[in-house]
Amino acid sequence: MKIGRVAATVVATIQVPALDGRRLLLVDLLDLEGRATGKDLIAVDAVGAGAGETVLVLDEGNGARQVLSAPQAPLRAVVVGIVDAIELGRPAG
């Protein structure tokens, strides 16, 4: 799983039937401090995320297809959660 921030919606007028009716999101990947890593990906939205929201991304093709119940779909990444907060467990001292 990866953490990212939704940068935009991707519009594709022609796509495979397995993706019809599904939103595609451009997600900027973040490090543990919440800073952009300079890497991004396109993920199918399964939770209704919007621009600017921090999200959890499952970036593993087979798992993504299972989440969407689309075993033959040509996809790799899916947004599976919207993050409310991140708390890093740091040792005291």
Range of the domain at 78: 2-12+21-82
More confident residue, 92 or 88: 88
State the total domains in the chain. 1
Can you give the pTM of this predicted structure?
0.86
Is position 93 within any domain? no
Distance between CA 92 and CA 66 in Å, rounded?
40
Distance between CA 18 and CA 40 in Å, rounded?
23
51 Cβ partners below 8 Å, 6+ apart?
A: 6, 7, 8, 9
Is position 45 within any domain? yes
Per-residue pLDDT of 20-64, as tens digits, reads: 888 999 999 999 888 999 999 999 999 999 999 999 999 987 888
Distance between CA 6 and CA 67 in Å, rounded?
19
- Which domain CATH number covers 59? 2.40.50.220
- 91 has a pLDDT exceeding 80: no
pLDDT given at position 4: 98
